[in-house]
Amino acid sequence: MARVLIIDDDAPIRDVLRQLLSREGYETVEACDGREGLQCSQAASMDVIILDMLLPEQNGLEVIRELRGVEPAVPIIAISGYGHTGPLDVLRVAESFGVQRTLQKPFHLQELLEAVRDLMQGKDEGIHLSSRRLECS
120 vs 113: CA distance, rounded Å: 10
Quick check: 90 and 54 in contact, CB under 8 A? yes
> How many domains are contained in the chain?
1
Q: Is the pLDDT of residue 132 over 80?
A: no
pLDDT category at 57 given cuts 50, 70, 90 is confident
Structural domain that includes position 103: 3-135
Whole-number pLDDT of residue 86:
53
78-100: average pLDDT: 81
Would you state the pLDDT for residue 44?
92
Burial of 97 (0-12, 13-18, 19+ CB in 10 A): middle
What pLDDT, on a 0 to 100 scale, did the predictor assign at position 81?
85
Which pTM does this prediction carry? 0.86
CATH number at residue 96: 3.40.50.2300
pLDDT tens digits, one per residue of 67-88 = 999 889 999 999 998 755 555 6
- Which pLDDT score, from 0 to 100, does residue 125 have? 36
Helices 109-120 and 11-23 cross at an angle (nearest 10°) of: 60
CA distance 35 to 42: 11
Q: Which helix (H) or strand (E) holds 89?
A: strand 88-89
Mean pLDDT of 89-110: 92
Between 6-20, 80-94, 96-110, 122-136, the lowest mean confidence (pLDDT) is in 122-136
Alpha helices in the chain (DSSP H): 11-23, 34-43, 60-70, 90-96, 109-120
In the prediction, which pLDDT does 89 show? 86
